[in-house]
A and B are shown apart, each in its own frame.
Chain A
Amino acid sequence: MASRYDRAITVFSPDGHLFQVEYAQEAVKKGSTAVGIRGTNIVVLGVEKKSVAKLQDERTVRKICALDDHVCMAFAVFTIFIGLTADARVVINRARVQCQSHKLTVEDPVTVEYITRFIATLKQKYTQSNGRRPFGISALIVGFDDDGIPRLYQTDPSGTYHAWKANAIGRSAKTVREFLEKNYTEDAIADDNEAIKLAIRALLEVVQSGGRNIELAIIKRNQPLKMFSAKEIELQVTEIEKEKEEAEKKKSKKSA
């Protein structure tokens, strides 16, 4: 059945599927794993980093992008797009233009929800036009609004968007999400450091070969985005491994 109704985006199958949109969601699974966690005073974005080709300039392979940078850096909106790189570039450009247009028209920076809604609406338009295919990308959009509350939104190729406390997209996102469901507690995210550790632990579930392949960024209220260096991530990973060992020792003592 699928083979007759999956070539055109504007055709529903008899059982109500839009196969092109579902296939676009498969394209997202071909990208790396990204995780976003919303703490009480912090938002953490972590993504799996794959090595770049030898002759490629690493600076041009960035996954965490700013959508809007404010003069005082009090509020800012950052995003990670996972899926088709070219589609991500196009959507980021449109979103950036929209952020500036909004600021000039309304004299206020965009809220995280506003720009997420804009991106989601754009994606939905491409699931309803003849001759165009959906964007093969999912995004995690984070930032602080001027009320000081941290926000994390996720969009997918169908054009839906939701607010999340913590979420993962990309390869093996399900495994990471299950880990987050088990380990996300109000205590864990109340402390900034614990929120960072939770993001790294979630990524370590699926990232092969540990801390070397993780890129991490945090935003704290009224502070600019901070990218973690490889050393800082290694430190966190060592701490996490120590805590794991101690927890296991305690467990074996208790059972003995």
Chain B
Amino acid sequence: MAATFFGEVVKAPCRAGTEEEEEEEEEGRRETPEDREVRRQLARKREVRLLRRQTKTSLEVSLLEKYPCSKFIIAIGNNAVAFLSSFVMNSGVWEEVGFAKLWNEWCRTTDTTHLSPAEAFCIFYHLKSNPSVILCQCSCYVAEDQQYQWLEKVFGSCTRKNTQVTILTCRHVTDYKTSESTGSLPAPFLKALKTQNFKDPACCSLLEQPNIVHDLPAAGVLSYCQVWKIPAILYLCYTDVMKLDLITVEAFKPILSSRSLKSLVKNIPQSTEILKKLMTTNEVQSNIYT
């Protein structure tokens, strides 16, 4: 690494370094038993486990094998979770079927028993009146190395052609690549990305190239659905307020007219009231930002 006069940091190739690197690689190959043990412990710590709420025992098979479903709705991120909580979960009785327990450096808590919208969690519910509708509220961050485990534990490795998957998530508007300046974008706005087998129309415009979707929603769920030919659609809300925000959550409203959610939502005005209550009113003034 080298710094230029203007303060840029650039990667400079160093001929003196390559010799040392080769030596280091050889040493690295000679792994001690302690290294192996540390690696094993770390893998155990980062294991993704799917548990039943009451018994705290692991599910023997994947979630969708145990609870086959026709509709699977996943909300990833706190704004998407708040949207499903106020608009979908309040119309109907939902029963919890399990929760995912995982740890990574992003977690501030390892205790998933005391849940609040402010803490990270990943819970699965099914509709009591129609158990083939499953909902997932995931507000914890699933790290790159844990995403495949999460997928295996949730989806398993069987193809499920009669399942339709809907994913909701948020991203900061500065990640949106466009020729317009970010100041002129109508944030928050909705974009959709779907798999080849999804035939229904999307509730908003599709995500244009060269934009990509990151993390669990895309690398995980959407890719999995594309490979296994499951019809799936991802609704991505680009917003300039990443924390829980009323306007960002309301930007998801066009999805309520989609085929998968239409039948699940009953009382919209009441949902809006519930949403307002969910908003943290005790948010303390940050001393850094006025």
Contacts and interface: CB of A to CB of B under 8 A. Distances in A.
Nearest to A137: B290
Interface of A: 4-5, 7-8, 10-11, 22, 25-27, 29-32, 50-53, 56, 61, 63, 81-86, 88, 130-131, 171-172, 174-175, 206, 208-209, 213
B281 A85 contact: no
B249 to A, nearest CB: 11
A139 B194 CA distance: 42
B287 interface: yes
B276 A29 contact: no
A84 B288 contact: yes
Contacts, number: 80
Interface in B237-251: 240-241, 245-247
21 contacts: A4-B10, A7-B7, A8-B6, A11-B6, A22-B182, A22-B183, A25-B183, A31-B290, A50-B284, A51-B282, A51-B285, A53-B285, A61-B285, A81-B290, A130-B6, A130-B7, A171-B245, A174-B186, A208-B276, A208-B279, A209-B276
Contacts of B276: 208-209
Given A52-B284, A208-B279, A174 B187 contact: yes
Interface in B145-195: 174, 181-183, 186-187
B241 A172 contact: yes
Nearest to B184: A174
A50 B9 contact: no
B289 interface: yes
Contacts of B245: 171-172
B27 interface: no
B242 to A, nearest CB: 10
Contacts of A86: 288
A88 B290 CA distance: 8
> What's the interface size class on B, roughly?
20 to 34
Would you call the interface of chain A mostly helix, strand, loop, or mixed?
loop
A246 B289 CA distance: 39
A86 B289 CA distance: 8
B7 A63 contact: no
6 closest A-B pairs by beta carbon, nearest first, are A8-B7, A208-B279, A50-B285, A85-B290, A209-B281, A8-B6
A245 to B, nearest CB: 14
A85 B290 CA distance: 5
Contacts of A171: 240-241, 245
A31 B289 contact: yes
B26 interface: no
Given A52-B285, A172-B247, A209-B281, A63 B290 contact: yes
Interface in B253-290: 276, 279-290
A4 B8 contact: yes
B289 A10 contact: no
